[in-house]
Amino acid sequence: MSVDRARISASVSGSKPGTSADGSRTVLVVDDDRDLRNLVVYFLETEGYSVRTACDGREGLQAVQETMPSLILLDMKMPVLDGWGFAREFRALYGFNVPILVVTAADDAKRRADAIGASGWIGKPFELDALLDAVARHIH
């Protein structure tokens, strides 16, 4: 995948990473499950977060070119570009300044999170309070 590094630099310079124009903290939700994305957006926005979404890793990389999030909630199994591919590309471009939380139904969630250098994980299905707590603990 080709990423325009000049566009990335221009889009994040002059503004604090992870902060939207109105100063709110931004969470990027990368998951191919539309219903789950919509549910997460609803609850995070209710808590005052700005939320962006992507249905796969490629769309997620495009989203960070527009607005660098404060936190990424990342599913691992997605079409087009999976969570491993997204994390590899994202870390190569931006390093480890933005925490990633793996959101997965897999039994080996911790191993998956460790494999991509994630800050943590949330198992599916999850309790709303667990999601909100994890976001609050990891967002910058």
Q: How far is CA 111 from CA 1, 84, 104, 114, 119, in A?
A: 26, 12, 11, 5, 12
24: Cβ contacts below 8 Å, ≥ 6 apart: 48, 49, 50
Cα(30)–Cα(53) distance, integer angstroms: 6
Q: pTM for the whole thing?
A: 0.83
Is 90 within 8 Å of 64 (Cβ atoms)? yes
Read off φ and ψ for residue 50, nearest 5 degrees. Answer: -90, 135
Write the pLDDT tens digit of every residue in 19-46: 545 446 999 999 999 999 999 999 999 9
Of 14-18, 98-102, 112-116, which gets the smallest average pLDDT?
14-18
Is 70 within 8 Å of 17 (Cβ atoms)? yes
78: Cβ contacts below 8 Å, ≥ 6 apart: 30, 31, 32, 55, 56, 57
Write the pLDDT tens digit of every residue in 80-95: 999 999 999 999 999 9
In 3D, which of 36, 44, 89, 88 has the Cα closest to residue 70? Answer: 44
Residue 17, sorted as left (phi over 0), alpha (psi -120 to 50) or beta, turns out to be: beta
- Over 70: is that where the pLDDT of 62 sits? yes
